[in-house]
Amino acid sequence: MSENTDEIRLLLEQEGPYAFKVRFEGTSLEALHTDEPAPLGGGAGPNPSALLLAGVANCLSASLLFALRKFKNDPGPIRAQISARKERNAQGRWRIARAEVSISLADKAASLEHFERVLAQFEQFCIVTQSVREGIAVDVRIVDADGVAHVPGGAA
C-alpha cells in the first residue's frame, strides 16, 4: 500500500513457558503479549497462528479500503472475519493450508464508484496476503550463549 521500504524489526522476549513479549522496534507502540493455548501455554495472548490470520484479514481490509478510496469512495466501516483449520501435512506436521476471509461492507456495492475495478485489484495491494500466497523465504540461525551461530540443518 505505501512505498515504505524500511526494514520491519520485532524483538521477542520469553515471559513464560510459551509466552513472549513482542516489541515493535523503532516505534512507540505498546508491546504485544503472545502465548500458546493450553496445554502448552496459558493462553494469555494470541498465538502465532492467530497473529498470522489477523495479519491477512487486516491487510486485506486495509487494501480494500485503499482501493475504494482510490476511486473517491467514502466507505462506511467494514468488518472482516477470517477462519482457518490446522491440517497435517505429508510429514504429519500441523500447518494452516487454507484461510477463508469474509469482508462485509457498510455500503451497497451499487453505491460505490468503480466497484468491479476495486474487486479486480484490491488484493494486489495487500503485502501480507500476497506474501503468504507466494511463500516467504525464512532464513533461520540460532545463536548460543557463547555467541556461536548455528544454522538448522546446516553448518554454522
pLDDT at 39 (0 to 100): 94
pLDDT at 147 (0 to 100): 93
Query: Coil, strand, or helix at residue 16?
Result: coil
Q: Quick one: cell of 96?
A: 494452516
Residue-by-residue pLDDT tens, the chain, 156 positions: 455 568 899 999 999 999 999 999 999 999 999 999 999 999 999 999 999 999 999 999 999 999 999 999 999 999 999 999 999 999 999 999 999 999 999 999 999 999 999 999 999 999 999 999 999 988 899 999 999 999 998 654
Alpha-carbon gap, residue 42 to 33, rounded angstroms:
12
Alpha-carbon gap, residue 144 to 65, rounded angstroms:
45
Q: Quick one: cell of 98?
A: 487454507
Alpha-carbon gap, residue 80 to 30, rounded angstroms:
24
pTM listed for this prediction = 0.88
CB 76 within 8 A of CB 47: no
pLDDT at 6 (0 to 100): 80
- CA-CA distances (angstroms) from residue 146 to 33, 115, 139? 28, 58, 21
Alpha-carbon gap, residue 70 to 61, rounded angstroms:
14
Q: Which of 103, 95, 96, 97 is nearest to 123 (CA)?
A: 103
Q: What is the DSSP secondary-structure string of 53-116?
A: HHHHHHHHHHHHHHHHHHTT------EEEEEEEEEE-TTS-EEEEEEEEEEE-SS-GGGSTTHH
